[in-house]
Structure 1
Amino acid sequence: MECKPVVVLSRCINKEAVRYNGGIVQDDFAQKLEKYVDYITVCPEVDIGMPVPRPTVILAKIDNSIRMIEPTSKTDYTEKLEEFSKSFLNSLKEVDGFLLKAKSPSCGVSDTKLYQKDLKHTIGKTDGIFARISKEIYPYLPVEDEGRLHDFWIRQNFLTKIFAYADFRHFKKSASHIKDLIKFHQRYKYLLMLYSPSNLKQMGRLIANWDSLGFEKTVQEYESLFKKTFSKNPTINAHINVLQHIYGHFSDLLKTGEKRQFNTLLHKLKNDRIYLTVILEFVRNFVYRFEDEYLASQKYLNPYPEELQTV
């Protein structure tokens, strides 16, 4: 049985009415995801002692530092929030990603308003303080908010990463021989190729020369590369490259019309005229038809539960 991803969730999303106005955020995706993950909830503002409801706080750039301030009283909560964030995040034993509240001065991801020193005029947008520190402490983990996850590609990458990280955690607990790592690596071949072909080759060399490091050290080095590989988001062209590699496994078995249809779907994907899920389903059909066990095991074709493909 695969290990469930552990996701830090803003407590105001479906859980408790802890927003500044005493409200709660209803989010369908976060609710659907709960069946497949274990949530750890947090509300940084309430957890540092702020009441519900509470005066609005904002982020302001003051003397080259971003501060969290309540404009009316001028109360500065920055140090208290930073101290809590570091303590909370460093106490997490297992975590695979973050699903936080959009536009929040503590939890927003790239979309929180940033004010000038006068606390009245905006100068741009930034991360909330808790979100920023989450990225600093866990640089390879996906940190997103519920607003950004409405975007198909952002959601696709978020889900792919949290389930891959959870899978590796589960693997580490049970692996005892290099053959276990080889099997794991084989399942992730095309997913790793999607994110970084060069890292895929480096990981292959690491496994091939495992005896020079020993099994435990090899797993440690592999984990570092595994997490580093998923740190960036793949392009459409990267998906097309992987799909063409997979297609090469069974292209000789296809009829002319089927080959033409595959190339047509690739062209539509490149021009953003179909969803990735359409061509993945097309490819999976041939994998099952030709009973290709190697391709059927590939995480690229099933990176996370099918039920999460649509919100």
Structure 2
Amino acid sequence: MQAKLSSPIPVGISQCLIGDAVRFNASHKHSRLCTEQLGSLFTLIPFCPEVAVGLSTPRAPIRLVGDPAAPRVLGSKDPSLDLTVPLQHYAEQVTQRHPELCGFILMQKSPSCGMERVKVYRDNGHPATGTGSGAFAARLMARNPLLPVEEEGRLHDPVLCENFVTRVIVFAEWRELEHRGITPSRLLAFHARHKYLAMAHQQLQYRQLGPLLADLRQQDVQKVAERYFTLLMQCLKTPANRGGHSNALQHLAGHFKRVLSPHERQELSHLIDDYRRGQVPLVVPITLLKHHLLNHPDSYLGEQAYLQPHPAELSLRNAI
């Protein structure tokens, strides 16, 4: 059920989040969530765009100025200092030099690394009406639209954290598939493994995945694979809600209807309903499904990523 990856997953991270004192005031924003919990699964590769473009530590602060849709990064006290282009170029360099990255964790509210909701100022120094994205983060996401990217602050939300980790692992599994070579049979197996995971996230896009793979012998497999992975990552970017999870759980439960007793089927159905109503966490019906799978082995279900998309010791489904 769990992903079988050949090595730890490389994930980029804003350097201040690992405890390095690289912020403008020579402080850090060490995140134990990142270094201890997620660090057990990921190989965290640190980047500090502001240091990389030549700023010292400590340094005068910078901020976003102008149009929130395309702000400039200027010195807070010295507006003649314009770091917009250097920060954008550094994002290009990271993209080119680190194709191994399967995700990125950014520092929130930063004029360089903020993913969204970064304060923007007008030229006269007053706050603008909208917010923007840091220059490095915006270019990084533009150049890597499928790369799972999240802010450290948002990762404290259990749903967003579980979603980010799931997307990173799926991204890494796809990289492994590309390394081995994409063939029709491997592409179909990848889809079969991730079918219920996609079902839980976004029904409309999920329904488009299967038809993409119809009659692969008559299509360019590489082009189909690119379209498939783009759609899959777009699908997974929508965090699964209780309705989506319940739908996937019911479909999985349907595979056991001929081997479970009436009492066992009723118990499983009640637990799924309890989860849908918010009375139990997702781990409860998942655990019962895995128990039935242990007693009634099924090779197809045994390969389903949905039942264990990430290491159980992370406990990411205990709070959603």
Task: Report the 3-state secondary structure (helix = DSSP H, G, I; strand = E; otherwise coil) of the residue aligned with 1:49.
Answer: coil
Q: Distance in 1 between matches of 2:193 and 2:16?
A: 37
Task: Report the 3-state secondary structure (helix = DSSP H, G, I; strand = E; otherwise coil) of the residue aligned with 1:300.
Answer: helix
Residues 1:36 and 2:24 are matched in the alignment: no
* Contact 2:107-2:151 within 8 A present in 1 as well: yes
Alignment of 1:61-140 (within 5 A): 61-62=66-67, 65-74=70-79, 75-121=81-127, 123-140=129-146
Note the C-alpha offset of 1:8.
Answer: 1.2
Q: Distance in 2 between matches of 1:308 and 1:176?
A: 30
Alignment of 1:124-273 (within 5 A): 124-175=130-181, 177-273=183-279
Between 1:243-252 and 1:118-127, the stretch displaced more is: 118-127
Between 1:157-166 and 1:191-200, the stretch displaced more is: 191-200
Q: Distance in 1 between matches of 2:55 and 2:32?
A: 27
> 1:54 is matched with which residue?
59
* Contact 1:115-1:124 within 8 A present in 2 as well: no
Note the C-alpha offset of 1:96.
Answer: 1.8
Q: Distance in 2 between matches of 1:178 and 1:206?
A: 12
Name stretches of at least 5 consecutive residues in structure 1 with no aligned partner.
Answer: none
Q: Report the AA paired with residue 70 of structure 1.
A: G
Name stretches of at least 5 consecutive residues in structure 2 with no aligned partner.
Answer: none
Note the C-alpha offset of 1:46.
Answer: 0.8
The one-character-per-residue Cα deviations of 1:64-98 (angstroms, maximum 9, x if unpaired) are 74122222222332222222223322433232211
Q: Report the AA paired with residue 112 of structure 1.
A: V
Q: 1:218 to 1:62 in 2, by over 3 A?
A: closer
> 2:5 is matched with which residue?
2
Task: Report the 3-state secondary structure (helix = DSSP H, G, I; strand = E; otherwise coil) of the residue aligned with 2:109.
Answer: coil
Q: Distance in 2 between matches of 1:53 and 1:107?
A: 17
Q: Report the AA paired with residue 60 of structure 1.
A: V
CA RMSD of aligned residues (A): 2.5
Q: Distance in 2 between matches of 1:79 and 1:176?
A: 37
TM-score by length of 1: 0.89
Residues 1:16 and 2:33 are matched in the alignment: no
Q: Distance in 2 between matches of 1:196 and 1:285?
A: 27
Q: Distance in 1 between matches of 2:25 and 2:149?
A: 24
* Contact 2:72-2:82 within 8 A present in 1 as well: yes
Q: Distance in 2 between matches of 1:246 and 1:60?
A: 51
Between 1:93-102 and 1:151-160, the stretch displaced more is: 93-102
Note the C-alpha offset of 1:201.
Answer: 4.5
TM-score by length of 2: 0.86
Note the C-alpha offset of 1:277.
Answer: 2.4
Q: Report the AA paired with residue 211 of structure 2.
A: R
Note the C-alpha offset of 1:261.
Answer: 3.7
Task: Report the 3-state secondary structure (helix = DSSP H, G, I; strand = E; otherwise coil) of the residue aligned with 1:282.
Answer: helix
* Contact 1:175-1:181 within 8 A present in 2 as well: no
Note the C-alpha offset of 1:145.
Answer: 1.2
Q: Report the AA paired with residue 6 of structure 1.
A: P
* Contact 1:62-1:117 within 8 A present in 2 as well: no
* Contact 2:107-2:113 within 8 A present in 1 as well: yes
Note the C-alpha offset of 1:228.
Answer: 3.6
Between 1:57-66 and 1:96-105, the stretch displaced more is: 57-66
Q: 1:10 to 1:156 in 2, by over 3 A?
A: same
Task: Report the 3-state secondary structure (helix = DSSP H, G, I; strand = E; otherwise coil) of the residue aligned with 1:34.
Answer: helix
